[in-house]
């Protein structure tokens, strides 16, 4: 392998990889999101705090995509059951953390749902 080839390969890799890394770092979405909660009222959600604490995006985003109003859209299409995210993600985790005596999120209705 010639030296020139190695240099060209490294430069090419950097040209493609650096913008991709920058784009994925920038695409964390908003720090704070009001999740749609229908008649029960919206749910103010500290997104950045969860991202920092949980590290793995897929803990939540395996069920709905990284898009604005993803939950509302999937529920309207009938592909995501109402209260599924709430019960199987939010409340499930908060209760586990509470039981373990760790800092935890809210587990009562009106602490999450605000009118
Ligand atoms: C604890 C759950 C949770 C975790 C972990 C999480 N997210 Fe989210 N994310 C949400 C919720 C809830 C929404 C809002 C969906 C909606 O509005 O229907 C959202 C929305 C988004 C959006 C779209 C926001 C918008 O309004 O444009 C992006 C982008 C996103 N997340 C990226 C990420 C990335 C990247 C990570 C990992 C670093 C991550 N999320 C981790 C729950 C989470
Ligand atoms: C940890 C926060 C949290 C708590 C506590 C909570 N909810 Fe929710 N709730 C949500 C989120 C987020 C959604 C939207 C996602 C979904 O439907 O799974 C939601 C959705 C709902 C919906 C469906 C709304 C719709 O029209 O789509 C109802 C009804 C509801 N919650 C009732 C309740 C009741 C009753 C309680 C108390 C027993 C409660 N929630 C406690 C976060 C919470
Ligand atoms: C895998 C675990 C996990 C999941 C899933 C999760 N949370 Fe949390 N949440 C936490 C922990 C841990 C805290 C406490 C963080 C702290 O106080 O440092 C928290 C805190 C919160 C708080 C209070 C934040 C504050 O600043 O006091 C809210 C509101 C909240 N979560 C809403 C939600 C909603 C809505 C969902 C579902 C979309 C959700 N959480 C999903 C672990 C989780």
Residue 62: predicted pLDDT: 96
Q: From CA 112, how far away is CA 44, in angstroms rounded? A: 7
Look at residue 91 in the predicted model and tell me its pLDDT: 98
> What are 67's two structure tokens?
């898009």
Q: What is the pLDDT of residues 49-67, one digit of tens each?
A: 999 999 999 999 999 999 9
* More confident of the two residues 5 and 91: 91
* Predicted pLDDT at 115: 83
Residue 46: closest CA among 71, 29, 66, 23: 29
Q: Is 47 in the pocket of ligand 1 (CB under 6 A)?
A: yes
What's the 97 CA to ligand 3 centre distance in angstroms?
Answer: 10
pLDDT digits (tens, 9 = 90+) for 4-53: 766 665 555 555 555 555 555 569 999 999 999 999 999 999 999 999 99
Residue 57 in contact with ligand 1 by CB distance below 6 A: yes
* Alpha-carbon torsion, ordered 10, 12, 14, 15, to 10 deg: 160
d(CA 37, CA 115): 10
Nearest CA to ligand 1 atom 31: 66
Ligand with an atom nearest the CA of residue 31: 1
CB 12 within 8 A of CB 88: no
Q: Is 61 in the pocket of ligand 1 (CB under 6 A)?
A: yes
- Provide mean pLDDT across the span 82-94: 98
Write down the pLDDT at residue 96: 98
What's the pLDDT score for residue 18?
54
Q: For 96-113, what is the mean pLDDT?
A: 98
Tell me the average pLDDT across 82-102.
98
Determine whether the shortest distance from the Cβ of 50 to ligand 1 is under 6 A.
yes
Q: Is any ligand 1 atom within 6 A of the Cβ of residue 63?
A: no
């Amino acid at each position: 392998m010639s030296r020139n080839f190695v240099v060209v390969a490294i430069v090419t890799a950097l040209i493609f990889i650096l913008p991709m890394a920058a784009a994925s770092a920038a695409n964390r979405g908003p720090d704070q999101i009001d999740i749609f909660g229908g008649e029960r009222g919206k749910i103010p959600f500290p997104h950045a705090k969860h991202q920092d604490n949980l590290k793995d995006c897929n803990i939540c985003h395996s069920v709905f995509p990284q898009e604005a109003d993803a939950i509302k859209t999937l529920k309207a299409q009938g592909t995501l059951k109402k209260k599924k995210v709430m019960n199987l993600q939010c409340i499930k985790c908060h209760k586990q953390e509470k039981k373990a005596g760790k800092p935890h999120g809210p587990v009562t209705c009106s602490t999450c749902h605000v009118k």
